[in-house]
Amino acid sequence: MNSKGYSAFETASNLLLINLLWLLMCLPIVTIFPATAAMFAVIRQLVLYKDSSVIRPFFRFFKENFKQSFLLGMIWLLIGFFLYFDYRFMNHFGSIRTILLPILFFFGILYSFSTVFLFSVMVHYKANWRTVIKNSIFLSIIHFPSTLLGLVILVGTAILAMALPITGVIIFSISTYGVFSLCNRSFRKVERLKGVESVKEQYDGEFLEI
């Protein structure tokens, strides 16, 4: 029961179950962000504590993080739409386009980078939505290699899910596992700089003022 083969099978089974729960809770559409937060929170338990329980923690985290994750998700979605429509209508700005395009490109890159850390930061630390966004941006910049690899995982997941929809039964939890593992490495580096030993509990406040 303690063999590597059994451990790998148990992890794969948990990832499959987490993914199916996520798909189920995403069906109402408006619950996509709380469901994603719950998936990240359960993956966090699996990565940090090797906790193999899934169903009860998933629904507990779904309920606990519902308000914040819904608000944060809607804010992030609106920012994304704003950047997208600004880009689409850029041709109507005339000569000022040459000035606005690099600025828009910069904010688009920043938005993409911070998306990698957004949900991991939210479930790993207790903080309001402003602090979550600020810290996600901060981490994505100072840990660029992890950010870039996280983007590759997210984009690759989206491409694979569209090309082979059947992979959707497990690919999302696998990518979440990979993204959170990368983010956790960044968390640990910052925590060591702050003199904090390994995270056993969530911390209040703006933990990245270093």
Written as one letter, the residue type at 85 is F
Total number of domains constituting the chain = 1
Contacts of 91 (CB under 8 A, 6+ apart): 97
Inside any domain, residue 162 = yes
What pLDDT shows up at residue 52?
80
Angle between helices 171-193 and 97-124 (to 10 degrees): 90
Inside any domain, residue 202 = no
Domain that holds residue 167: 4-193
**pTM for this predicted structure:** 0.89
From residue 142, give the alpha-carbon distance in Å to each of 25, 56, 111, 183.
34, 35, 15, 12
Does the pLDDT of residue 178 top 80, yes or no?
Answer: yes
What pLDDT shows up at residue 199?
47
- Percent of the chain having pLDDT more than 70? 90
CA angle 159/160/161 to nearest 5° reads 95
Does the pLDDT of residue 43 top 70, yes or no?
Answer: yes
Its sign, for the CA torsion 192, 196, 197, 199, is negative
Inside any domain, residue 166 = yes
* pLDDT tens sequence across 119-153: 999 999 888 999 999 999 999 999 999 999 999 99
What pLDDT shows up at residue 131?
92
Inside any domain, residue 111 = yes
Does the pLDDT of residue 201 top 60, yes or no?
Answer: no
Inside any domain, residue 199 = no
Inside any domain, residue 206 = no
Inside any domain, residue 209 = no
Task: Burial-class residue 48 by CB neighbours within 10 Å (0-12, 13-18, 19+).
Answer: middle
Inside any domain, residue 160 = yes
Secondary structure (DSSP) of 94-121: GGGHHHHHHHHHHHHHHHHHHHHHHHHH
